[in-house]
Amino acid sequence: MGRIFLMALAAFAVPASAAAPASIAGRWKTDDGKGIVVMAPCGDKMCGRIERLLIKQPAGGQLDERNPDKAKRSRKVAGLQIYWDLAPNGDGWKGEGYSPEDGRYYTAHLRVKGNTLTMKGCVAVFCRTVTWTRMA
């Protein structure tokens, strides 16, 4: 009986090649130096929120003026969640993203290497890749 249990358990063991990708948790400075984004757990997945903007803002703060949903254009960009449903996918993470700069939603592919976070955002077949730097 014990031998059968061990064989069944071995069948469900996770192979070493399926190891979880490097964590994206932490504070990241955007490639253009315009902001800091915090990646943190939200439920059983990861999310990203703009912690603060590093650029001069209009009085009252930068608004999400380019959002395709007119009802959301009056919300502030600082504090805005821009990544959600991020889950491990191969050696990286995959989920949904939003860019307040151009008001586009996209599929996000993220990968950590050392102190850099490379993000590839795709809308249909058009993709853009940026690299962010981990903040201390």
Q: Which tokens belong to 64? A: 């999400």
Q: What is the CATH number of the domain that holds 32?
A: 2.40.128.520
Is 29 within 8 Å of 135 (Cβ atoms)?
yes
7 is a domain residue:
no
17 is a domain residue:
no
Ordered DSSP codes for 75-129: SBSTT-EEEEEEEEETTEEEEEEEETTTTEEEEEEEEEETTEEEEEEEETTEEEE
Range of the domain at 47: 24-134
Q: Which DSSP letter does residue 74 get?
A: T
pTM of the full predicted structure? 0.82
pLDDT in tens, the chain (136 residues): 444 433 433 444 444 456 789 999 999 999 999 999 999 999 999 999 999 999 999 999 999 999 999 999 999 999 999 999 999 999 999 999 999 999 999 999 999 999 999 999 988 888 999 999 999 7
The number of domains in the chain is 1
Q: Which DSSP letter does residue 17 get?
A: G
1 is a domain residue:
no
Q: Please tell me the number of Cα atoms within 13 Å of 102 on its side-chain side.
A: 7
Q: Which tokens belong to 49? A: 């929120």
- Cβ–Cβ contacts within 10 Å for residue 8, how many? 9
15 is a domain residue:
no
123 is a domain residue:
yes
Question: First and final CA of the chain: distance in angstroms?
Answer: 52
9 is a domain residue:
no
5 is a domain residue:
no
86 is a domain residue:
yes
CA pseudo-torsion sign 119, 17, 46, 33: negative
CA–CA gap between residue 132 and residue 115 (Å, rounded): 8
